[in-house]
Chains A and B, each alone.
Chain A
Amino acid sequence: MVDLYPEYDDSVLVLNPLGRIDGTNAKAFEEALLGRIEAGDHQILLNFEGINYISSAGLRVLLMAAKRTSQAKGQLALFAVQEHVQEVFKFSGFSEIIPIHDDRTGALGEF
């Protein structure tokens, strides 16, 4: 089970995952994240400061989450993404479809 260390900032759910998101834990990450969305949280902000690795398996989960929140008229965004992780978003084109902010304050300002 992946711990997302959830907290609320007003109506925005802020999640603080740690470590890697790859093929070994993507499924657990998916269940945790999509479970939140199904439970009614459609404004989701992911703190990626503690994520030092993400593979396409992780990206796929983010894509699914982004689509679900979008369908529910909500949104999903990231902040504090490490430089080399950010490359992955860039190469995959994900930086174009999932908003990535520098810090928490800036991110919350967009909700």
Chain B
Amino acid sequence: MISVLTLAGVFVSAAVLLLLALDSEDRTGRQSAVVFSEAVARSLLMADTDTLSDEEINDLIRWHEHDAADDVEDPTRLSEVWVFNQQARLAASSEGARSVTRSEIVTAREAMRDGGSTIVERFESGRYAGTAPLRTAEGDPVGAVRVEFQSNRIGNHFEAYRAEYLVAVVAILVALVLASNFLAKRLARPIALMVRAARAVEVGRQPEAGVAASLRNTSLTRDEYGELAGVFLDMAREVGQREVQLAALVEERTVELSEKNRVLESTQREIRNDLEMAHSVQAALVPIDLPDDPRASIAAFMTPALDVGGDFYDAFITDYGRLAFAIADVSGKGVASALMMAVGRALLRSAANQHADPSLAIAETNDQLCGMNPKELFITAFFGVIDMELGTLTYVNAGHDPPYLLRPDSGIEAIPHTGGIALGVLPGLTYAETTIPLDPGAGVFLYTDGITEAENEADHQYSRARLETQLSELIDTEPQAMVDSILADLFSFTGDAKQFDDITCLSLKFVGGPASPEPYIPGRGSAQLASGWRRMVVQPSLETSLPRVAAFVERFAESEGFAPRELYRVNLALDELLTNSLEHGFPGRLQEAQISVALRSEGDMVVVRYEDNGPEFNPLEASEQDTELTLDERPIGGLGLQLITATFDAITYERIEDRNVTTLRHRRGSPTEETPNG
């Protein structure tokens, strides 16, 4: 760019100089033309143009040449002279002059017009013509003189030295081009370097070594470029340092951040694991198998909210052979609530097997919960027990929303509250229970407020009213269909609104019907107990089990109208069987023991069924002991089984699958009691 401009400048100046020179030459040429033509005209004053000869003209020219040398600073040789008469006809001409042209005649006439004036013409290559009027003494034009000459000043010089001029011009041009190139480089290079360096700095790098070195060299020069390069280098260095500092800072922050991130992630993972664990605990504690008793039909549903909640439901056959069911809602959310729910459900189950009365079971659960409730959570619960033989429902409501009693013939009805407060609040409370008749076909629907307080996107609650309407319509349906329909209606109501609380419900229908004669429903294993039997699962520890078995037998005796002493032998037999199982049945693997006891009265007969999963062992074969031996002959031990065979009227032993099942039958007022003491 710069070189182009320089070249253009050089050319323009050269052209201007040339024009000035030419202009000066032109002015000199024109002046000469006037001077020459007028001098010739003066010298011909008074001459008769009609008689003027060519010789006279030639003489005149020679003379004039001599004369003019003093006249004009730069004398020019007259080459040709023409003289015209008054009619502008050629009168005479210098030696060797060419004939005149028409335009020259016109010019001569022009020069004579209006008192006369000198006309100058210029031709190519520096040739000039001057046409001056010839005058009389009075000054009237009577003819004209035309002179032509070659200007010698530049034109001739140029002509003469054309080649040299050309060489000089070319040389100058070459020099100019070289100079401009040099200048362009000298001026443009530092800028190009700075551009490259700036690009490097822009993308966060230092200028390349070569570029930086060149710039450093440039900065040593004293001109503005040097200064600029110096400033630029300083700036680049500063930017570079700042980049480095920033990078270090960013690095540091990145390390800090990633460390914090890692901690956060691991914390989050732990929390998630906790929540997942709590979720699975909650899910695991929801009974998978509801009691499959033909006399009752049960369906239930629970879905935890996104946060872990603490709802639970339960339904099971108690050790007393009754159908117990419960629904509960632990206050709060999160892992603590889920664990509280787990504990609460386990405690309630255990208490229900310990106490036949729901009020005692609930009081026991409450006491236990209060002893292990650091978070001061509480549980609202409804707990009911159905005696399927009597057709009664006995229940306790500990601060829970009243469930509904569903009677197909008289509609739905909220089950009256028993006035109990939530569990886990205060220890030592007693709870009231209520017993109501439950006819076959009647049902119970339990729920938590996760249903009635579920909100749709318009923040309206599902409400008890809507639940009641639904239940009224569903009063005849089976429990599973009822649960499905309620949930379908609930979810169509809530739509896409977020679920804030656990949603839990349980529907139960009492079918009624006769009790099964066998303690276990065929094909269902020992978990399912048929009606009429009181059963308890025995812990594999004598210390805890013996008193519980004794209490169990005592309660059975009370409820069946036996005097406790009458069942002394039942107690003793169970004691001996249990002691034998625990001492010999599970050497070193007591935790694997599964032992249960079941009692049932048949008329005046008490049937005892003892079951364990130890290795096959028939007590009838092991109890052959001679009771007639004397004191010293009697072995110590082996007495227990013998006691059993001696005290019971009928004993049977069966190996069922992996279990030993011993069944004892004892008739009321047995012969042994009638036997007088020995």
Contact = CB atoms under 8 A, between A and B. Distances in A.
A84 interface: yes
Contact of B631 (A24, A57, A60, A97): A97
A70 to B, nearest CB: 6
A36 B21 CA distance: 159
A23 B579 contact: yes
Interface string B622-633: 000001111110
B575 A22 contact: yes
Majority SS at the chain A contact face: helix
A67 B631 contact: yes
Given A53-B571, A83-B677, A91 B647 contact: yes
B31 to A, nearest CB: 158
A93 B550 CA distance: 24
B637 interface: yes
A86 interface: yes
A97 B576 contact: no
B678 interface: yes
Nearest to A59: B639
Interface in B549-578: 550, 565, 568-569, 571-572, 575-576, 578
Interface string A55-89: 11101100110110010000000000001111110
B495 interface: no
Contact of B636 (A22, A60, A93): A60
Contact of A56 (B634, B643, B672): B643
B642 interface: yes
A96 interface: yes
B627 A70 contact: no
Interface stretch (B97-105, B206-214, B540-548, B649-657): B540-548
B170 interface: no
Interface residues on A, range: 20 to 34
A90 B542 contact: no
A96 B629 CA distance: 9
A67 to B, nearest CB: 6
B579 A57 contact: yes
A63 B672 CA distance: 23
B49 to A, nearest CB: 180
Nearest to A76: B631
Contacts of A86: 677-678
A63 B546 contact: no
Contacts, number: 84
A87 B569 contact: yes
A42 to B, nearest CB: 15
B646 A23 contact: no
Nearest to B670: A87
Nearest to A55: B575
B678 A56 contact: no
B41 to A, nearest CB: 172
A60 B542 contact: no
Contacts of A96: 627-628
Q: Which of B575, B576, B639, B646 has the most CB of A within 10 A?
A: B639
B391 interface: no
A41 B621 CA distance: 39
A93 B628 contact: yes
A88 B636 CA distance: 16
B639 A60 contact: yes
Interface residues of B, number: 33
B647 A87 contact: yes
B639 A92 contact: yes
Contact of A53 (B568, B637, B646, B673): B568
Interface string A1-37: 0000000000000000000101110000000000000
A56 B569 CA distance: 12
Contacts of A57: 579, 640
A63 B634 contact: yes
Contacts of A56: 576, 579, 639-640, 642-643
Nearest to B633: A97
Interface in B645-678: 646-647, 672-673, 677-678
A7 B470 CA distance: 76
A56 to B, nearest CB: 4
Nearest to A82: B565
B678 A95 contact: yes
Contacts of B550: 20, 53
Interface in A90-111: 90-93, 95-98
A55 B678 contact: no
Q: Which of A64, A86, A90 has the most CB of B within 10 A?
A: A90
B634 A97 contact: yes
A63 B636 contact: yes
A95 to B, nearest CB: 6
Nearest to B573: A55
A92 B636 CA distance: 12
Contacts of B575: 22-23, 55
Contacts of A22: 546, 575
Given A22-B575, A60-B637, A97-B631, A92 B643 contact: yes
A93 B627 contact: yes
A84 B646 contact: no
Contact of A55 (B579, B632, B642, B673): B579
A90 B678 contact: yes
Contact of B546 (A24, A66, A87, A92): A24
Given A24-B542, A92-B643, 5 more contacts: A53-B572, A64-B636, A85-B568, A86-B678, A93-B627
Interface of B: 542-543, 546-547, 550, 565, 568-569, 571-572, 575-576, 578-579, 627-632, 634, 636-637, 639-640, 642-643, 646-647, 672-673, 677-678
CB-CB nearest 5 A-B residue pairs:
A93-B627, A91-B646, A56-B640, A56-B639, A97-B631
15 contacts: A24-B543, A55-B576, A55-B640, A57-B640, A59-B643, A60-B637, A63-B631, A64-B636, A67-B632, A84-B565, A88-B572, A91-B642, A91-B646, A92-B642, A98-B631
